[in-house]
Structures are given as C-alpha cells and as structure tokens.
C-alpha cells in the first residue's frame, strides 16, 4: 500500500470544508434546542415527555433513515443526495416559524431529521471517495473531530440567539444555514458507486422499523412501565424487525448492508463504540443544559459557554487518537475512552440541587477526553473494513450507529428523568390549585414559572420541584453510566488489538451481479475466512 503523502487540490480542500460544515449543521441541530427547552416549555406548555419527543423526533428519523439514505447516495450520487437533504432540512426548520404548538414542533423536527439523514452519510462518503488513501485517515479524523465539537457549537449558536431573540430564532438560523450550505454543496466534487446497485426497500423498512420501535419503547418504558402493552409491543416489534432485517439482508441480491460485516471485529466493535459515545453524550446534554439554567441560574448563552472547555481535550485527543490506534490497535483507545465516559456519567449522577459549576465541570472534561480518544479510531475502523465502492453505506452505518445511540441515549435520559420527576412531584399536586397542577406536574421549568407568579410563598414548591428533578436526573445519569461502563468492558474484549488485521470483504472477491445470492454470500464468506486465517498476506493491515 502506497502511503506517500499526496498534495490535496483546491477542490478537495473545498470538499472537506463543505462536508465538515454539513455534518456540523446536522449535529448542531441535534443540540441547538437543548438550551431552549425551559423557554419552549414555558411558552408552549410542553410537558417533560413532549420536550423529550421534540428533541428525539429529529434524532429518531435521522437514525431510522440514515442507512437507506446512504444507499441512495451510492446509487444516485452523493452530491445530489447532500443537496436534497439540505433543502428538506431547511424547509422543515422553517415550519415552526408559522406552526409552534408542541405537536407541530415534534412534526417539524421529525421532517428535519429526514433531511439530516440524507446529509450526514453523504458528507463522509464524499470524503472517503475523493481523498487519496494516504490522506483519508486525516480527513476522517477531522470529520470525526468536527462531529464531536459540533454539539458545543450548536449550544453556543443557540445560546447567542436566545440572548437577543426568542427560541424561534434558532429555527430561523437553522433554516438559513441549510439554504446557504445547499447552494455551496452544488459546487463540490461528486462520487457514485459505479455498479449502480439496486435499492433494497424491504431491508430499509425493516431497519427503520427496528430502530423506531426500539426508541419508542425506550422513551415510553420508564413512564408507562415496562409491562405496559404499548412498551411490550414496541420492544418485541423492534426485535422481530431486527431479525427480519438480518434475514432479508442475507438473502437479497444486493443488500442494503452486508450484515456479515458485523462479524468483523473492527467493523462491529467500531459501530458499537460510536453508538455508545453518542448515547452518553446526548443523554448527558439533555440533563445538564436544564441543570445549568434551572439550578445554576445560567442564561442560555452562559450555559453554552460553560460547555466550551469540553472542546479542548476533545480536539487534542482526536488529533492523536488515529496514531494511538495505529500503534496499539482499536482495543486500547476504545476501552479507555468509553470507560472514561462511563466514569464521567457516574460523577454526574452525584449532582445535587446545591452543586456548583466545578462539580459539573470535572465530569464533562473526563467525558470529552473519552470522546476524543475513542471516536476517530472507531470511525476509521468502520471505513477500513468496507469495500471502497460501498463507502456510502459504510458512512451510513457509522452515522446510523451514532444516531441510534443518540436517540436511545435521549430516550433513556428523558424518560427516566420524566418518570423520576413525576413520581416525586405527584404527592404535592393535590395541595396545589387545580389550574397549577398540570404545569407543575409536567416539567420543572413550568413549575418554576408557576412559583414565580405566586411569589415568595411558593418557595416550598420550588424546593419540591427541584428535588424531584434532581432525583430523576440522577437516576438517568446513573442508568447511562451503567450502560456505558458495561459496553466499555465488552468492547475491551471484542475490539481488535495491535496485531489484529482489518478483515473486510474485498470488492474483487464479492460475486458479480450474475451470481446467485447464495453464490455471492459464499464468495464473501470465503474471503472473510481467507483473511481470518491469514492465507492472504496482501490483505493484512493494521488500523490506520
């Protein structure tokens, strides 16, 4: 393999810029509304559960559709899909300017998630297709680093807007940014899978159903109870849809995703690692943004600024993480990085209503260090174990893992928080005037607004509501921490070490279109076996 550095052209630098701005917009849009949740709750009357859906509606659609959208880019051109996604995102983000009820906010966010699903895999697959192999790892590291810090950028941007305007200005800003990037994206280098693979509609439906039902079950379970018929139906449906997806993908001629890739340790463990990173990060953001505004008394902008220290260790470690992975393998940075994230969550679970910024800062710095250490190697492992012609789908797998993780993390954090708050606040509701019971029982932000209108005599209500919120938030952070630490241990066993080889399915050993599905599967299996047994020295490569 020729590793000689290749000088990048101006068009490649422009592509890197636009691709990073595109993924930054998608991730910033996931985070941008966190700073506005108290104001949205106060203005629209949204309950804690509706606030969770306003955030997770976007992430859910992105997670459900990113895989088939990556395949669309492979077939019809990644630039076309990128531009189309930005247009859909921009139009959907403009809807709340006219329709701002909680229900319409959820619908608008879901439609914006459809656009984001078209954008996100296109950005990474355009980079991997148009950058030389010697510069590809660096481009992926930059892309992954931008992805990691974009949430903080979203917090800063929305916080700055909220300092001078209402929460609707966030939607206006996202719509304008999407429109500008759509125009810019028309000028980047295009790429397509030359084989023009047929679409896999049944696989797309099964994958979307599996992800969607899993998230619905995770959101509703802590609130309704895990034995509620809707929750049981959703979780059982997710399992059946997932099994159906595997069954379909093993038998169709051109699968949406060759599920045999998950048997490759680098690909499978890398996918789980990026999912866990986003599960922890976005579940945490849902909790701490409300904590800073409702307990520390920070404005939206000050809350965003308070998160900026996270950027320093994240970027610094993201730059060196690929070299650490090349030297030590995927296992060590993944185990340490994901483990640090879990430890940070346990630290956050110890916050109380009297905690200060310092109590919050050290877990955030530990978490950002873990994200910077583990994210770029995991993304590189996914790409390295996929044929170059399928980098659109590989990018979509990377993005799907992130968004499924984010959706589940938001679902766990939001629903456990809502359940804990509702459980603790319920005993005092009968003591309140009838008109105050619904808002106080709905969210802490609404309860504090009621208390502010009632005057000093409502101080016991504030104390009770804050205590209920911290009870739910502590349980949510603890649940996320236990899940993350368990995943860290499993990844420490599963992820390949320094001497492992990347075991991918090469494009030259996959059966041509004329072969039957069984023949195609056999060819891929023979290739994987040959690589695992080390009979083809040309395919041995450490993770780069």
Tens digit of each residue's pLDDT (9 = 90 or more) over 241-264? 999 999 999 998 878 778 888 888
**Residue 466: inside a domain:** yes
Give whichever of 166-175, 250-259, 524-533 has the largest mean pLDDT. Answer: 166-175
Mean pLDDT of 277-306: 88
**281, 355: one domain:** yes
Rounded Cα distance between 469 and 479, Å, is 15
**529, 397: one domain:** no
Contact 329, 498 (CB under 8 A): yes
Whether the pLDDT of residue 527 is over 90: the answer is no
Give the pLDDT of residue 196: 64
Mean pLDDT of 71-98: 90
Give the pLDDT of residue 32: 82
**Residue 231: inside a domain:** no
End-to-end CA distance of the chain: 12
Higher-pLDDT residue of 456, 13: 13
User: Any idea what DSSP says for residue 537?
Assistant: G
**393, 534: one domain:** no
Give the pLDDT of residue 507: 38
**324, 371: one domain:** yes
**Residue 491: inside a domain:** yes
* pLDDT, tens digit, 9 for 90 and up, residues 156-165: 888 889 888 8
Rounded Cα distance between 87 and 301, Å, is 28
- Residue span of the structural domain in which 511 resides: 501-544
Give whole-number Cα distances, 28 to 186, 193, 196, 461, in Å: 22, 29, 32, 35
**512, 367: one domain:** no
Give the pLDDT of residue 530: 35
Tracing tokens 């995770």 back to the chain, one arrives at 218
Reported confidence tier of residue 390, pLDDT bands at 50, 70, 90 = low
Give the pLDDT of residue 436: 81
Exposure pattern of 416-450 as b/e (b: 16+ CB <10 Å)? bbbbbbbebbeebeeebeeebbebbbbbbbbbbbb
Whether the pLDDT of residue 519 is over 60: the answer is no
Reported confidence tier of residue 523, pLDDT bands at 50, 70, 90 = very low
Determine whether 107 is exposed, middle or buried from the number of CB atoms within 10 Å of its CB (0-12, 13-18, 19+). middle
Give whole-number Cα distances, 376 to 371, 379, 408, 434, in Å: 9, 5, 21, 53
Reported confidence tier of residue 540, pLDDT bands at 50, 70, 90 = very low
Reported confidence tier of residue 389, pLDDT bands at 50, 70, 90 = low
Whether the pLDDT of residue 528 is over 60: the answer is no
Contact 197, 393 (CB under 8 A): no
Rounded Cα distance between 384 and 271, Å, is 12
Q: Is 304 helix (H, G, I), strand (E, B) or coil?
A: helix
Contact 364, 340 (CB under 8 A): no
Q: List the one residue out of 413, 415, 467, 457 whose CA is nearest residue 436.
A: 457
**438, 526: one domain:** no
**Residue 214: inside a domain:** no
Higher-pLDDT residue of 394, 381: 381
Phi then psi dihedrals of residue 307, to 5 deg: -90, -10
Reported confidence tier of residue 3, pLDDT bands at 50, 70, 90 = very low
Mean pLDDT of 120-126: 84
Whether the pLDDT of residue 510 is over 60: the answer is no
**521, 377: one domain:** no
Mean pLDDT of 417-436: 86
Q: List the one residue out of 68, 61, 77 whose CA is nearest residue 29.
A: 61
Pick the last residue of a domain from 500, 518, 533. Answer: 500
Give the pLDDT of residue 195: 64
**140, 109: one domain:** yes
Give the pLDDT of residue 197: 64
User: Which segment of 177-181, 195-199, 205-209, 524-528 scores lowest on mean pLDDT?
Assistant: 524-528
Percent of the chain with pLDDT over 70: 88
Mean pLDDT of 73-96: 91
Helices 391-425, 265-294: axis angle to 10 degrees equals: 40
Contact 390, 35 (CB under 8 A): no
Give the pLDDT of residue 542: 33
Pure H helices in 165-195: 168-185
Pure H helices in 295-356: 300-307, 311-328, 331-348
Higher-pLDDT residue of 313, 502: 313
**Residue 239: inside a domain:** no
Whether the pLDDT of residue 106 is over 70: the answer is yes
State pTM to two decimals: 0.74
Give whole-number Cα distances, 55 to 33, 191, 285, in Å: 7, 32, 11
**Residue 251: inside a domain:** no
Reported confidence tier of residue 118, pLDDT bands at 50, 70, 90 = very high
**532, 394: one domain:** no
Reported confidence tier of residue 299, pLDDT bands at 50, 70, 90 = confident
Per the structure, the count of domains in the chain is 2
Rounded Cα distance between 78 and 81, Å, is 5
Higher-pLDDT residue of 450, 488: 488
Whether the pLDDT of residue 384 is over 90: the answer is no
**33, 73: one domain:** yes
Give whole-number Cα distances, 264 to 214, 382, 529, 530, in Å: 24, 10, 11, 13
CATH of the domain at 186: 1.20.1250.20
**67, 112: one domain:** yes
Whether the pLDDT of residue 397 is over 70: the answer is yes
Whether the pLDDT of residue 144 is over 70: the answer is yes
Whether the pLDDT of residue 403 is over 80: the answer is no
Higher-pLDDT residue of 394, 119: 119
Give the pLDDT of residue 239: 95
Exposure pattern of 221-244 as b/e (b: 16+ CB <10 Å)? bbbbeeeeeebeebbebbeebbeb
Rounded Cα distance between 144 and 139, Å, is 9
Rounded Cα distance between 314 and 366, Å, is 10
Calculate the average pLDDT of the chain.
82
Rounded Cα distance between 412 and 1, Å, is 44
Reported confidence tier of residue 22, pLDDT bands at 50, 70, 90 = very high
543: Cα separation from own chain's centroid: 23
């Amino acid at each position: 393999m020729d590793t000689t550095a290749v000088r990048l052209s101006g068009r490649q630098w422009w592509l890197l810029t636009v691709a990073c701005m595109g993924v930054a917009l998608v991730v910033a849009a996931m985070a941008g509304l966190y700073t506005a949740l108290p104001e949205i709750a106060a203005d629209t009357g949204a309950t804690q559960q509706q606030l969770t859906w306003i955030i997770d509606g976007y992430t859910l659609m992105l997670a459900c559709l990113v895989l088939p959208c990556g395949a669309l880019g492979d077939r019809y051109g990644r630039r076309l899909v990128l531009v189309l996604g930005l247009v859909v995102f921009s139009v959907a983000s403009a809807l709340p300017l006219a329709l701002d009820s909680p229900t319409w906010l959820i619908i608008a966010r879901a439609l914006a998630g459809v656009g984001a699903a078209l954008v996100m895999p296109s950005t990474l697959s355009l980079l991997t297709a148009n950058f030389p192999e010697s510069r590809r790892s660096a481009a992926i590291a930059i892309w992954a680093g931008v992805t990691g810090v974009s949430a903080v950028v979203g917090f800063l941007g929305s916080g700055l807007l909220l300092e001078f305007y209402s929460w609707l200005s966030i939607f206006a800003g996202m719509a304008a940014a999407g429109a500008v990037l759509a125009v810019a994206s028309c000028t980047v280098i295009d790429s397509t899978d030359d084989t023009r693979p047929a679409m896999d509609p049944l696989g797309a439906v099964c994958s979307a159903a599996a992800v969607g039902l899993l998230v619905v079950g995770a959101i509703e379970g802590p609130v309704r109870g895990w034995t509620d018929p809707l929750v049981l139906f959703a979780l059982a449906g997710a399992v059946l849809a997932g099994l159906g997806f595997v069954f379909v993908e093993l038998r169709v001629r051109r699968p949406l995703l060759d599920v045999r890739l998950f048997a490759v340790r680098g690909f499978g463990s890398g996918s789980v690692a990026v999912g866990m990173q986003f599960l922890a990060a976005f579940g945490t953001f849902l909790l701490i943004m409300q904590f800073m505004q409702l307990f520390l008394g920070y404005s939206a902008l000050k809350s965003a600024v308070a998160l900026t220290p996270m950027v320093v260790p994240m970027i610094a470690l993201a730059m060196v993480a690929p070299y650490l992975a090349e030297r030590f393998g995927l296992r060590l940075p993944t185990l340490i990085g994901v483990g640090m994230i879990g430890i940070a969550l346990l630290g956050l679970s110890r916050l109380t209503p009297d905690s200060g910024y310092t109590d919050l800062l050290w877990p955030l710095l530990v978490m950002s260090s873990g994200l910077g250490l583990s994210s770029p190697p995991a993304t590189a492992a996914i790409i390295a174990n996929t044929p170059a012609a399928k980098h659109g789908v590989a990018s979509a797998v990377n993005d799907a893992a992130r968004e499924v993780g984010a959706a589940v993390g938001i679902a766990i954090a939001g629903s456990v928080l809502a359940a804990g708050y509702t459980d603790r606040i319920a005993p005092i509701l009968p003591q309140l005037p009838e008109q105050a019971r619904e808002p106080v029982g709905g969210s802490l932000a609404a309860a504090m607004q009621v208390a502010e209108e009632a005057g000093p005599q409502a101080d016991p209500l504030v104390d009770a509501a804050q205590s209920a919120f911290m009870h739910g938030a502590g349980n949510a952070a603890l649940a996320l921490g236990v899940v993350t630490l368990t995943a860290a241990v499993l990844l420490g066993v599963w992820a390949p070490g320094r001497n492992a080889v990347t075991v991918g399915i090469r494009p030259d050993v996959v059966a041509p279109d004329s072969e039957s599905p069984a023949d195609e599967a056999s060819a891929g299996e023979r290739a994987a076996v040959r690589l695992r047994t080390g009979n083809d020295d040309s395919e041995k490569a450490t993770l780069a």
